[in-house]
Every structure is written in structure tokens, then in C-alpha cells.
Amino acid sequence: MGPLSVAAGGRLFAWSLILACAELAATLFFVAGTHGWIVPLEAPTTTDFASFYAAGKLAAAGMARLAYDRAAHQAAEWAATEPGVPYQFFYYPPVFLLLAAPLARLPYLCAFAVFEAATLAFYLAALRPIARPRGWRWLVPALGFPAVFWTLGLGQNAFLSAALFALGTRLLDRKPLLAGLAFGCLAFKPHLGVLLPVALLAGRHWRAIGGAAAAAGALALLSWAVFGGAAWAAFLAAFAGAHGTYENGRIELAGMITVFAAARLLGAPVALAYAAQALAGVAAAAVVARLFWRGAPLPARAAGLIAGTLLAVPVLLLYDLMPLAVAGAWLLPRARGAAPGRGAFAAMLVLYTAPLYCRPLGLALHLGVAPLASAAVLLLAARWHADCSIPCHRAHFIDAQERLD
């Protein structure tokens, strides 16, 4: 995966190949199970994509505001899939309807396949210049990351958010305006931009700030023009009450990757869980601000921003670990023959497999360990910048970016 040492690259490829094969087999088994091909189902099942498709159907029919009305949205989900499927909430801003509405003009399964294939291709294309691969072998760790299978299996949009983080961080120093435009497109999932103002202001990235504001503003205005102010009013009303959905357990806590969920799994009351989340957010913001203020090498800043974001946001699920693949690609050694130490490589392997064991530990032991993965990546970024335990000199990466661009 890029200019790794032969030994480290070989181990990464071998472990990733084993993991990818196991995940593919498990995915096929679960697909067969959820379709009733193994044993008859007691109740119909669906994926998160049903929520996107139903909202897109309503928007395409000129009723975008009803995407935030539970009764109308549930009826649209049942019409798209089958009556009785569990309800999937829709709390995305009307910006996301700009993508969902065109997709909803396709048949449901076709729209699912097109969306996942297109966003997966976007993710791989955005990741490739960071990984700096030679040949095709880099695709194995890129596709073997367990969050890939969560995203595909649930029909989620995490490939899109990971790709935008990859584009934004890669272009930040060389083409800051374009980087800002990529960051601004995260407006479809705005809570992922929580640390962008901290990072960009601390790093004095004024052109990137302008690009992000322009992109987010343009998308908001376009969605207002297409779907009307009523859709935005309905979204804001739905968003104001969204906290009850995850506070009352409607979303499985073991499937969440945040400090809030980890505290709740341990039995903490809601107020204490929010306090813990706030502390984690402040700590993450402080580390990210320091990395950007001091002009750390781009890999440290990029990985720190991604990991810090995942640590600071209170509501994220397993598929939202996808951007960690981008952070991992940034932190892998860049100079030929300079592999990380065994401890660091083992730590990266543990973090790489985090989406695989987070939910089982949450269900069995009531332990929310996913925030530890994000925190570890953030600390690795800060530490590797501080002690130069990998060759991450600023000039080296500026030269590398110049060759890439």
C-alpha cells in the first residue's frame, strides 16, 4: 500500500485478504438469511437505504417536506419495500434530497446498486492518491476494512463521507479552494463538519474556509430552490426532536461508535453521557487545533482531523468508521523501506479491525470500545508528529503532493 517496506506491506496484504474473504462470506450468509433463503423469516427486513429511497420518492413527487413526517415517510418505505418492514428514520437535511430524488426515479434494487457502486468507486478513487499504490494489491486492504461491509450491507452513505474527507485533506495544502469545496459537500451530513472550523481557522486556511462556506451555502440554497422552504422548516423541526431517537434506545447503543453511547452502555444517565461526550469533543478539538496551529505534516493533520471528528460527534454508527480508512492510509509510512515499529503496526492492525468487534463487545459486555479506536488514531497522529517515529517531514510530503498533483 504505497511505499511500505516489503515485510510490512506483505503482512498488511495477507491479513487484509483473510479478513476480506471472511467478511464476504459472512455478508453473503447474512444476505441469504435476511431474504429468508436459509430459514423462513418471522417478519420482513430492510436496510437503511429504504429511508433514503422513500425520502427521494417523496421529494421527486414534489412533497419533500413529507420526508420528515414519520407517517408519510413510513408509508413511502413500505411502498418501496414491503408492508411491515421496521421504520428507518430520516434526519438528513434537504441537501441530501438533491441526491436521493434522482436515485428514487430508478427501481429500488437498481437505485441501491447504483448508489453503493458509485460511492464505493468515488471512495477508492479518492483514497488511491493517498495510499500511493503500486499495482492492484492496495485494493485488498481498502476493501477489506470491515466498515466497507457494514456500509454495503446497510445501504449507507459512508463511502461518500470518507471520499470527501480524502479529497479535502489531500488537497488542503496544494489546492485549498478545492479542498474547501470538498469539505463543504459534507453538508449532506453536517455533523461530520463539527471540527472543520477549528482545524481550518487554527491552520489559517482562509481559502479552504471560503470554499467550504461557498459549497455548503450553494447546496443549501439549491435545495431550498428545488424543494422549497417548507422542506427546510420540516427538517429543522424533525432535527430538534431527533435526540430522543438515540436517547431512548431506538438506535442500538452497541451499534454506535461514540463516547455518548459508550457511557450509556455502562449505565450512565443521559446527562452524564452528554457530559462525557462534551469532554471528549473538547479534548479532540484541542488536539486537532494544536496539530493545525503548529503546521504539523499533512498526514498528521489529516488523520487527526478525521479521528477527532469521529470522537467529537455524539451520534455515529458502525459504518461511520469508514473515514478511519482514510486516516489509516495517511498514517502508514511514506518512505521506501521505513516501516513502523512492531508495536505501531500491531496497533494499526487492531484499529483496522475495530468495526468487526465493537458491536459484539457492546452486546455481550456492555463495553463501547469504538471511541478508543478513534482516540488511538488521534493520539498516533499527534505522537508520530511529535517524536518523528515515522518519516513525516513536511518537505517530504509537499514534494509528494507536488508529484501527485
Q: Exposure of 275 by Cβ count < 10 A (0-12 exposed, 13-18 middle, 19+ buried)?
A: middle
CB-based contacts of 135, cutoff 8 Å, min separation 6: none
Please compute the mean of the pLDDT values over residues 64-85 and round it to a whole number.
94
Is the pLDDT at 346 greater than 70? The verdict is no
Alpha helices in 228-294 (DSSP H): 229-240, 243-247, 259-265, 270-293
Per-residue pLDDT tens for 167-178?
999 999 999 999
Alpha-carbon torsion (264, 268, 269, 274), positive or negative: negative
- Cell numbers of 58, please? 417523496
- Structural domain boundaries of the chain? 6-241+252-404
Per-residue pLDDT tens for 37-46?
555 656 667 7
Of 284, 291, 126, 70, which Cα lies nearest the Cα of 200?
Answer: 291
Per-residue pLDDT tens for 299-315?
999 999 999 999 999 99
Per-residue pLDDT tens for 137-167?
788 888 889 999 899 988 999 999 999 999 9
Of 94, 340, 34, which Cα lies nearest the Cα of 224?
Answer: 94
Distance of CA 13 to the CA centre of its chain: 23
pTM: 0.89
Distance of CA 230 to the CA centre of its chain: 29
